[in-house]
Amino acid sequence: MPSLSNAVTDEAQLLTASDHQYLELALRKLYESGGSQIAVLTVESLDGEAIESFSIKVVDQWKLGTSKVDNGVLLLVSKNDRKLRIEVGRGLEGTLTDLQSKRIIDQVIAPQFRVKEFSRGIVEGVRVIAKFTDPSKELMPGGPRHRTQKQLPGIFGIVFLLIILVPAILSRIAGGNSFYRRRYGGYGSSYYSNRNSGFGGDSLGGGGFGGGGGGFSGGGASGDW
């Protein structure tokens, strides 16, 4: 099992170089600004182990998030097993629920994986995860543009909002929580419409990405493609 030194550990080599760099910079900036600690791990195989137990072993070792708020998230992808999981820290289980995690897998990541757009699926998935975990913080704008597929039509955004956000809004309003009353921007494929593909002059240099002692209790969801 790899040690935690970067936000993105792409052992299965599913990410393009530009997407890898973008995610590394964006996730570091999010965490350094006081946001959640989101990490991505891709592996070739689980070697027969269930993805849920493998994922727990990873987060138990990495301890993503801080011990005060347990705000860590792991996106785990196993290439040969065609399985993936979003593991959610205890402090985020109310904002990134099991149901929302499952819908992100089924509606955002898996469809891209099925057409072998692995890098795009991972980037889009991470950006939606960050919308739930850190609605007051924008993940670093820009990022590489993907030209291998035509831009999905605007109806995708409408359908996705209905599938993912409406149940969450109704649930939060019913509970008296104003969290989801904040205005969300579009996400999913629309993120790739941004024509600024630079990284603002930043580089991958700097300190490590070690975990801060966050805890996990099995929250999240698994899926396949």
Number of domains in the chain: 1
CATH number of the domain that residue 23 is part of: 3.10.310.50
* Separation of alpha carbons 97 and 90, rounded Å: 10
Out of 24-28, 35-39, 84-88, 164-168, pick the least confident: 164-168
**Contact (CB, 8 A) for 70 and 215:** yes
* Separation of alpha carbons 5 and 152, rounded Å: 35
Return the higher-pLDDT residue of 152 and 111.
Answer: 111
Residue 88 resides in a domain: yes
Residue 95 resides in a domain: yes
Residue 133 resides in a domain: yes
Residue 1 resides in a domain: no
Residue 117 resides in a domain: yes
**Contact (CB, 8 A) for 151 and 192:** yes
pLDDT confidence of residue 181: 33
Residue 2 resides in a domain: no
- Which DSSP category does 77 fall into? E
Residue 3 resides in a domain: no
Q: What is the dihedral of CA 45, 50, 56, 57, to 10 degrees?
A: -60
**Contact (CB, 8 A) for 41 and 5:** no
The domain in which residue 192 lies consists of: 8-224
Tell me the pLDDT tens digit for each residue of 202-217: 334 445 677 778 889 8
Query: Is the pLDDT at 156 greater than 60, yes or no?
Result: no
**Contact (CB, 8 A) for 56 and 87:** yes
